[in-house]
Homo-oligomer: A and B are copies of this chain.
């Protein structure tokens, strides 16, 4: 079922989709957590966030669906870690987007 948002350029849609994954402080906090513990972390994320376990699980699912985080089963628990390559791609996408915004000499504030 195509939504209205699909009528835009694919690259804008892709960037918007990943921006949406970043559009919640809990998910940003999770990303920072996963980066801080240089390797990866399992359910300690729940202890570090003021959210219920099921809520954290949902946020992790969003991040996984956005391709930013990977989870591998490790015994009874699950080990989550950042997808470093995906993060880099996202970083580049944002950098490109912002770079495109200022080829203009931004002479004086318009209006």
Q: Give A residues with C-beta under 8 Å from B.
A: 4-5, 7-9, 12-13, 15-17, 19-20, 22-29, 31-32, 35, 38-40, 50-51, 70, 72, 74, 79, 81-82, 84, 87, 90-91, 94-95, 97-98, 100-102, 104-107, 109-111
User: What is the copy number of this chain in the assembly?
Assistant: 2
Residues of B within 8 A of A13 (CB): 25
**Chain B residues with CB under 8 A of A32:** 12, 100-101
Asked if A15 and B5 sit within 8 Å, CB to CB, the answer is no
A25 touches which of B16, B31, B102 (Cβ 8 Å): B16
Question: Contact at A22–B26, with CB atoms within 8 Å?
Answer: no
Known contacts A104-B38, A106-B84; is-contact A72 B25 (Cβ 8 Å): no
User: Is there contact, CB below 8 Å, between A111 and B81?
Assistant: yes
Known: A24-B5, A111-B72. A98 touches B102 (CB 8 A): no
